[in-house]
Amino acid sequence: MASEKDKRNDGYENGKQPDKISKVNEPGGVYQPQDPPTFEKVWFMFQQSDKKWQETERFLKEKSLETERLMKEQSRETDKRFKETDRLVRNLSKNMGGLNNTVGEVAEDYFRGAFSKLGELSDVKVKTVDGLQRTVGKLTGQFDIVVFGDTANIVVEVKHKLRKQDVVRFYEKIFPTFKRLYPEHCKVRLFGAVAGMTIDDEALAQALDQGLLVFTQSGQKIVQLNPEGFEPREF
């Protein structure tokens, strides 16, 4: 038979079994059974979730409106900068155009005055020097300088810096237009000439190849660049 000591070791004392304690091996200690969810609890949880969803939706909408506003402001600022840049470019182009016109007018005035002071130009006695402009029907022509001589007239195209394309344009377009608009000035010999404050090498070679007289300035004097013995082309 078991001794009293053995009974105590088996969890018995005085012949009575000890009370059972409802414990589980789970975190949190004593197990507490929960009541099943009621309609009120479910409804309350639903209302809380709906409230949070509405707040989230309102937040996203506000952010969307704010983003749209910022994008519109940025777009307006960008358009404003583009317009300002376009205005500055237009003004710069206008000023550059005005500067180019002014430089061109200075060159024309210089050569017009220089030719007027010459008694003779390429074996042609100078009578008068003038600029001409005329429109006949749809044809319009403006000519920088025309030197009227006793036995010949000389049509002169003037540029501040004479380039090859200026020479080509002169003998292909400007000179033929002069002959159509001013037939009365073509009854005598007619020569062509180009003049520039500076002249690049290609322009000089092109002008000489087409039989044109070529003039530039050196210091306070006008200089003819045609080589000795050059025979100008009669148009």
Q: Which uninterrupted H or E stretch holds 182?
A: none
> 19-60, pLDDT tens digit by residue?
544 444 545 555 555 566 676 666 566 666 666 767 777 777
Through-space distance between the first and last CA atoms of the chain, rounded to whole angstroms: 154
Q: Which residues of 67-85 are buried (b: 16+ CB within 10 A; e: fewer)?
A: eeeeeeeeeeeeeeeeeee
Query: Given this model, what pLDDT does residue 80 score?
Result: 64
Within a domain: 213: yes
Within a domain: 43: no
Within a domain: 4: no
Query: Given this model, what pLDDT does residue 56 score?
Result: 74
Query: Contact, 129 vs 145, CB < 8 A?
Result: yes
Q: What are phi and psi of 145, to 5 degrees?
A: -145, 135
Query: Given this model, what pLDDT does residue 79 score?
Result: 63
Query: Given this model, what pLDDT does residue 235 score?
Result: 84
Query: Given this model, what pLDDT does residue 24 score?
Result: 47
Q: How many CB atoms lie within 10 A of CB 170?
A: 24
Which residue do the tokens 């789970």 mark? 26
Q: Which two tokens stand for residue 176?
A: 């033929």
Q: Which residues of 123-154 are buried (b: 16+ CB within 10 A; e: fewer)?
A: ebebeebeeeeeeeeeeebebbbbbebeebbb
Within a domain: 45: no
Query: Given this model, what pLDDT does residue 120 score?
Result: 87
> 110, exposed or middle or buried, with CB in 10 Å at 0-12, 13-18, 19+?
middle
Residue 29: which region, alpha, beta or left (left: phi > 0; alpha: psi -120 to 50)? left
Query: Contact, 123 vs 226, CB < 8 A?
Result: no
Considering its fold, how many domains does the chain have in total?
1
In angstroms, how far is CA 174 from the centroid of its own chain?
A: 32
CATH number of the domain that residue 151 is part of? 3.40.1350.10
Within a domain: 53: no
Within a domain: 131: yes
Query: Given this model, what pLDDT does residue 45 score?
Result: 67
Query: Given this model, what pLDDT does residue 202 score?
Result: 96
Within a domain: 7: no
Q: Give the C-alpha separation, 143 to 145, whole Å.
A: 6
**Stretches in the chain below the pLDDT threshold 70:** 1-37, 39-51, 53, 75, 78-102, 104
Within a domain: 69: no
Q: Which domain holds residue 149?
A: 110-224
| DSSP β-ladder status, 221-224 and 213-218 | antiparallel
Query: Given this model, what pLDDT does residue 34 score?
Result: 59
Q: Which two tokens stand for residue 172?
A: 């292909």
* pTM value surpassing 0.75: no
Side-chain half-sphere CA neighbours of 23 within 13 A: 7
